[in-house]
Amino acid sequence: MSEAGPWRWIPPITAAAATQMAIDRWMLQQLLAGGPPLLRLYRWSAPALSLGRHQQRWPAHWRHAAGVELVRRPSGGRAVLHAGELTYALVLRPEQRDREAVYRHCCRWLQEALALAGEPLQFGVASPAAAAQRSSCFATATAADLVSASGAKRIGSAQLWHGGALLQHGSLLLDPPLSLWKQLFGADPPPLAPLAWSADQLEPLLRRAAEQHLCSGGLLSQPLSPAEWEAVLALEPLGRV
Q: Are 7 and 207 in contact (CB under 8 A)?
A: no
- Counted domains in the chain: 1
| Cα 69 from Cα 48, distance rounded (Å) | 4
Q: Are 78 and 119 in contact (CB under 8 A)?
A: no
Neighbours of 74 (CB within 10 A): 23
Tell me the pLDDT of the chain averaged across its residues: 91
Q: Which one of 106, 107, 137, 215 is the catalytic residue?
A: 137
142 domain residue, yes or no:
yes
The verdict on whether 137 is a catalytic residue reads yes
pLDDT band at 142 (very low <50, low <70, confident <90, very high): confident
What CATH number has the domain bearing residue 131? Answer: 3.30.930.10
pTM of the model: 0.93
158 domain residue, yes or no:
yes
2 domain residue, yes or no:
no
Of 133, 132, 17, nearest in space to 82 by CA: 17
Range of the domain at 135: 7-239
Summarize pLDDT for 21-45 with one digit per residue, the tens.
999 999 999 999 999 999 999 999 9
1 domain residue, yes or no:
no
Percent composition of the chain: helix, strand, coil (DSSP 3-state, to 5): 35, 25, 40
Summarize pLDDT for 182-225 with one digit per residue, the tens.
999 999 999 999 888 888 999 999 999 999 999 987 899 999 99
13 domain residue, yes or no:
yes
Q: DSSP secondary structure string, 158-203?
A: EEEEETTEEEEEEEEESS--HHHHHHHHSSPPP-PPPPSS-HHHHH
Q: What is the pLDDT of residue 112?
A: 96
